[in-house]
Chain A
Amino acid sequence: MIVQRLDRPPEELERRTGWEVEPEGACRGDVCVPLGSPFDLRDLAGRLGMELVHDERHGLWALGPESGGRALHSAQLPEILLPDRNGEDFALRSSRGTKVFMIAWASW
Chain B
Amino acid sequence: MWQELRTRWYPLGLEVVTVALDVEASEARPFIEQAHAAHPSLIDEAHLTVELFGFLNVPNGVWIDEDGMIVRPSEPAHPGRNPVTESFRTIDLSTVPPDIADVLREARKIKSDPDVYVTMIDDWIAHGRESRYALTPDEVIARSEPRTGAEATAAAEFELGQYLHRAGDHAAAIPHWRQAHRLHPDNWTYKRQAWNFEDPMRQGHTDAYDGSWYEDIKRIGAENYYREIIP
A binds B: yes
Partner of A95, one of B15, B54, B176: B15
Q: How large is the interface on A (under 10, 10 to 19, 20 to 34, 35 or more residues)?
A: 35 or more
Further contacts, 18 of them, CB under 8 A, given A64-B159, A101-B121, A105-B21 = A51-B149, A53-B157, A72-B53, A72-B144, A73-B141, A75-B140, A76-B68, A77-B70, A82-B44, A100-B63, A101-B9, A102-B18, A104-B74, A106-B21, A106-B193, A107-B28, A107-B30, A108-B193
CB distance from B121 to the nearest CB of A (A): 6
Q: How large is the interface on B (under 10, 10 to 19, 20 to 34, 35 or more residues)?
A: 35 or more
Instruction: Report yes or no: A99 in contact with B32, Cβ–Cβ below 8 A.
Output: no
Q: Mark B40-62 against chain A: 1 for CB-CB distance below 8 A, else 0.
A: 11111000111111110011111
Instruction: Report yes or no: A102 in contact with B64, Cβ–Cβ below 8 A.
Output: yes
* Chain A residue at minimal CB-CB distance from B69: A75
Residues of A close to B29: CB separation below 8 A: 85
Answer whether residue A37 sits at the interface, using C-beta atoms and an 8 A cutoff: no
Instruction: Report yes or no: A103 in contact with B137, Cβ–Cβ below 8 A.
Output: no
CB distance from B74 to the nearest CB of A (A): 7
* Chain B residue at minimal CB-CB distance from A63: B156
Answer whether residue B146 sits at the interface, using C-beta atoms and an 8 A cutoff: yes
Instruction: Report yes or no: B156 in contact with A104, Cβ–Cβ below 8 A.
Output: no
Q: Mark A57-93 against chain B: 1 for CB-CB distance below 8 A, else 0.
A: 1101111111111111111111010111100001011
Q: Mark B70-112 against chain A: 1 for CB-CB distance below 8 A, else 0.
A: 1101100101000000000000000000000000000000000
Which residues of A are interface residues toward B (Cβ below 8 A)? 1-2, 16, 49-53, 55, 57-58, 60-78, 80, 82-85, 90, 92-93, 95-108
Residues of B close to A102: CB separation below 8 A: 17-19, 49, 53, 61-64
Answer whether residue B22 sits at the interface, using C-beta atoms and an 8 A cutoff: yes
Instruction: Report yes or no: B70 in contact with A65, Cβ–Cβ below 8 A.
Output: no
* Chain B residue at minimal CB-CB distance from A69: B147
Residues of A close to B200: CB separation below 8 A: 108
Residues of A close to B4: CB separation below 8 A: none
CB distance from A13 to the nearest CB of B (A): 14
* Chain A residue at minimal CB-CB distance from B153: A51
Answer whether residue B222 sits at the interface, using C-beta atoms and an 8 A cutoff: no
CA distance A90 to B58 in the complex (A): 21
Answer whether residue B124 sits at the interface, using C-beta atoms and an 8 A cutoff: yes
Instruction: Report yes or no: A104 in contact with B152, Cβ–Cβ below 8 A.
Output: no
Residues of A close to B13: CB separation below 8 A: 98-99
Answer whether residue B65 sits at the interface, using C-beta atoms and an 8 A cutoff: yes
Answer whether residue B116 sits at the interface, using C-beta atoms and an 8 A cutoff: no
Instruction: Report yes or no: A60 in contact with B160, Cβ–Cβ below 8 A.
Output: yes
Residues of B close to A65: CB separation below 8 A: 51-52, 147, 152, 155
Instruction: Report yes or no: B61 in contact with A104, Cβ–Cβ below 8 A.
Output: yes
Instruction: Report yes or no: B148 in contact with A67, Cβ–Cβ below 8 A.
Output: yes
Residues of A close to B53: CB separation below 8 A: 71-72, 102, 104
